[in-house]
Amino acid sequence: MKYRAKYWGFLPLAVLSFMAAAVHYGRAQVVVDVSGGNFNPIPIAITDFIADDDMGQKISEVIAADLERSGLFRPLDKSIFLENITNPDVPPRFNDWQQIQAQGLATGRVGREADGRLRVEFRLWDIYGNTQMEGRQFYAPEDSWRRIAHIIADAIYRKMTGEKGYFDTRIVFVDETGPKNARIKRLAIMDQDGANLSYLSDGREMVLTPRFSPTRQEITYMAFSGSRPGDDAPRVYLQQIEDGKRELVGRFPNMTIAPRFSPNGQKVIMSLLEDDGGSNIYTMDLTTHQTSRLTAGSAINTGGSYSPDGGKIVFETDRNGKQQIYVMNADGSDQKRISFGDGSYSTPVWSPRGDYIAFTKLTDRQFSIGVMRPDGTGERILTSGFHNEGPTWAPNGRVLIFFRQNAGQESELHSIDITGRNERRVPTPHGASDPAWSPLLD
């Protein structure tokens, strides 16, 4: 039986850009530096989009929630607005919005075409620059309204911070239910804000560590069926999100963790157990299924992750005693240790921007999520607790998602930005682990 996300793959969503005649007074548009740790969220006003029903309000609420959850924006309470926007095509009264200290203003309109599609118009105004920063128009099926809101939030994020957004994305994870001795683990997928959850597997086989392709809506994961006696070897699959079709990459009795994709999506990197009890890192070409070994020896070498340019690989190994983080060239040469702090390190994963490597660290019986630069300098712990593990990056490289389990409780998903100051729980209906973030959908 095929399972698929109930909404969207690539929707027939048309986008037009438009710029209105706006009043200019010679001031530069606002672009705020969000790279520092001591940052005050940007005050922004988001009006209810004009509509004949509640669709305009619903879209504006999702936009505001996306921006607020990022920690970089502070949507202003609508009760303090001094101007009631009745025509989003007309420049607003900038002084009114300056009085409530808004730096940006989002306005819009929602209508319907004869064929039933939504038509959503959106404008972003620079309040202190007295000009329009962005204008777009969208045509899409009505059930795509949340995605339109996420795309608008991404546009605001990019215009006002200078960085790409991450709201028009999805998260795949392992949904966990049942007692410990009869755990049911299903693949689940949802919007990055927890909405539109659906299942990609039915629970008849145990699934582990899904990973998204960085170039398309495709995942790889490991599954144990156990449907026949002795048939407990892990299988690795590729699965298309849109139609639910999956392809068997192979059976790997000695696999320890699911593969990760290379940046171009043409290879995967994985670790396999050896006869001497150690494990080594291999790559596999997804077209030819040919493998190449990158590490050697009796140590535990695992957890490979490519740099965004594909030139290097970060991995973990216990070759010097405790598990530490190493970096090597993509062909396995020039292997160098980069972690030198107390404790042991695991699950390293390279940022899509290339500037950081995220990791899990165990020290003093605490599991921490942290980041360091690719040369090992600048190590920072972002959050610690009873059990935190499995960081994965948003496609803009500014936010991580990981799973947390407190003693005696179900595991749950949390997000945190690279400053460590904005940690949020990501809602799921049951226990959740092994998250992976999709690339942007557009």
2 part of a folded domain: no
pLDDT digits 0-9 by tens, 411-434? 999 999 999 989 999 999 999 999
Boundary residue ending a domain (126, 143, 161)? 161
Do residues 151 and 182 share a domain?
no
Q: Residue 193 contacts by C-beta under 8 Å, 6 or more apart in sequence?
A: 62, 65, 66, 69, 150, 167, 426
Q: Which two tokens stand for residue 198?
A: 């659906």
3 part of a folded domain: no
Boundary residue ending a domain (91, 126, 161)? 161
pLDDT of amino acid 37:
55
Closest CA to 142 of 117, 107, 122, 120: 117
pLDDT of amino acid 229:
43
Tell me the residue type at 141: P
Q: Which two tokens stand for residue 63?
A: 């936009």
Residue with the bigger pLDDT between 39 and 343: it is 343
Q: What angle do CA 315, 318, 320 make, to 5 degrees?
A: 115
Query: What does the pLDDT average to over 133-159?
Result: 96
Question: What's the number of domains the chain is made of?
Answer: 2
Interstrand relation of 170-177 and 184-191 (parallel, antiparallel or unpaired): antiparallel
Q: How far is CA 231 from CA 88, 119, 241, 380, 409, in A?
A: 62, 52, 26, 43, 31
pLDDT of amino acid 36:
54
**Calpha distance 320→328 (Å, rounded):** 16
Question: Is residue 54 over pLDDT 60?
Answer: yes
Do residues 346 and 371 share a domain?
yes
pLDDT of amino acid 244:
85
Q: Residue 77 contacts by C-beta under 8 Å, 6 or more apart in sequence?
A: none
pLDDT digits 0-9 by tens, 345-386? 999 999 999 999 999 999 988 999 999 999 999 999 999 999
Do residues 156 and 270 share a domain?
no
26 part of a folded domain: yes
9 part of a folded domain: no
Note down the domain range covering 155. Answer: 14-161
Please say whether the beta carbons of 210 and 189 come within 8 A: no
pLDDT of amino acid 147:
96
Which residues are bridge partners to 282 per DSSP?
A: 270, 293
Question: Is residue 30 over pLDDT 70?
Answer: no
Do residues 138 and 233 share a domain?
no
Question: What is the share, in percent, of the chain residues with pLDDT greater than 70?
Answer: 89
Say what the pTM is. 0.89
CATH number of the domain encompassing residue 152: 3.40.50.10070
Closest CA to 301 of 284, 314, 291: 314
Q: pLDDT grade, residue 26 (50/70/90)?
A: very low
pLDDT digits 0-9 by tens, 186-203? 999 999 999 999 999 998
pLDDT digits 0-9 by tens, 318-356? 998 899 999 999 999 999 999 999 999 999 999 999 999
Question: Is residue 27 over pLDDT 80?
Answer: no
Do residues 395 and 302 share a domain?
yes
CATH number of the domain encompassing residue 298: 2.120.10.30
Q: Which two tokens stand for residue 425?
A: 């729980």
Residue with the bigger pLDDT between 236 and 65: it is 65
Boundary residue ending a domain (105, 133, 161)? 161
